[in-house]
Each structure stands twice: as structure tokens, then as C-alpha cells.
Amino acid sequence: MQSSAVIPGRLERALTELWRRARFRLWQPGHWGLWLRLRRRYNLRPLSVSQLRLRVPPRLVPDCEACTEVCCSGRTRVVSLRLLDIARLADAGLESHITTTRPQFTLTELDQKPALRDRVDSDLWRWFPVLAQDPSATCTLLDEQLRCRAHPAWPLSCARFPYSVNLAARTIFYAPSCQSTRTVQSDEVGAPVRRLVEAAVAGYNEQIRDLVLLHVARAELEQLGLLRQLTLPEQL
């Protein structure tokens, strides 16, 4: 739940500019057919905070400073990356922590966690890299004091944890795996909860942006070096 300003690096700025151009390009007559095909294949409607119900424990916020659980550890907690995450890690010189080696989950694990099954069945899981884990299944970005070396430019999934979006139920929920919480006065809840809610929505919307960019601006992404860590089919 740590928060700090992120100064965009070269690749992040280039990605932002590419998105601006790609969005304009998609609405040109020559790309209307592609837009329709993408809409048939994917849900490309961005979310806003106002569209979702908040279902989190009242007056409880994550207490990262007192956490002893290391939420960055565990095979099923591997972090999937977005193009923005890749750009930020590369800008910070942390590209070596990106890998295409993903955990292989058992049928039992998938049956127990429907959200994990949906994730593994998606194109984004098949195409995009993840944060590397060490032999104990702990994120390699953690230092000896269990602090994230990428913060504040850490991945979007990390910035919103323990909040997640349940699109089918149109809710933002609190991950039960996070037990490190503290009780605060009602007037203190607003700011940290708002940051986590906005991060959860932003993480979902980045998936949409990535899908559009891969189909509309693949050559430019290749030139920026942002596809080196992806596993893409020749034809999307």
C-alpha cells in the first residue's frame, strides 16, 4: 500500500505517446474492421470506479509496515506484467527480473481458485511475462529486508494488492490472503482506500490498452524493445 510519485522514464513516456497515436489510428476508416474484430473477441470497455461496488472490511486497511506474511511469495501469487510494468522495470534497470517462465499449476489449484483458472486461460497469461521467482517461489525483486527494489515503479498488480476486480460481480474485493491489517478512524480510511481502488481499476484498464496496442502498434512496440519478453504468435 506504499505510495510515492513515479517519474516516467524514457520507455514509459514513449509508451504513453504510442498509446495516444494508436488510439487515434484505431478510429481511422482503415482500422474499423480491426476494431470490430477486437470487440467481438475481447471486452474492451474500460472500467471506472463509479461502475463498481466496494466490498472491503470496514475501517480496515493493509498494514504493509507490520506485514510478516510476505505476500510476494507463493507460486499462485506470481505477478503478471503489463506493457507499462515492463517499460518501468526496464527504465529502472530491473529488466533481469522479468521472465517468461510461468508456474505450472495443478488441476487442484485451478479448481480451488476460479480466478486463477480464468487468468491462466487468457491470452494475456500466455503472451505476457511475469516477475521472476526464486526457488522458494518468492519474488526476486525483494531485498534482504523484504522491501521491493522496484518501488515506487512497481507493477500495477502490486500497487493495488490486496484489492482486486471481480468483473462479473462488478465489485472490488479485498483478497483474503492479506491478513496484515490495521483499524483506523473513519476519517482516515478515505485516502489509502481510494488509492487502492484506483490502482485496481487502472490495472484492469491496462489490460485493454495492451490488447489494443498489440494489434494496432506491434511494429512500434518491437522497435521500443517492449516485446522481447513476450511470447506472441505470428498472427494475433
Global pTM?
A: 0.88
Residue 213, judged by CB atoms within 10 A of its CB (0-12, 13-18, 19+), counts as buried
**C-alpha–C-alpha distance, residues 173 and 115, integer Å:** 12
Q: What is the pLDDT of residue 87?
A: 97
Domain ranges within the chain, ordered by starting residue:
10-224
Contact at 8 Å (CB) between 98 and 92? no
User: Running along the chain, 236 residues long, what does each successive block of 10 average in pLDDT?
Assistant: 67 96 87 90 90 81 73 87 96 95 88 83 93 93 87 89 85 81 71 84 93 95 95 90
**C-alpha–C-alpha distance, residues 133 and 79, integer Å:** 9
Q: What is the pLDDT of residue 187?
A: 65
Q: What is the pLDDT of residue 191?
A: 76
**C-alpha–C-alpha distance, residues 158 and 236, integer Å:** 28
Q: What is the pLDDT of residue 3?
A: 45
Contact at 8 Å (CB) between 54 and 171? yes
Kindly list the distances between the CA atom of residue 104 and the CA atoms of 76, 125, 233, in Å, as whole numbers in the listed order.
Answer: 9, 12, 20
Helices and strands: H and E segment counts in the chain:
9, 7
Contact at 8 Å (CB) between 172 and 53? yes
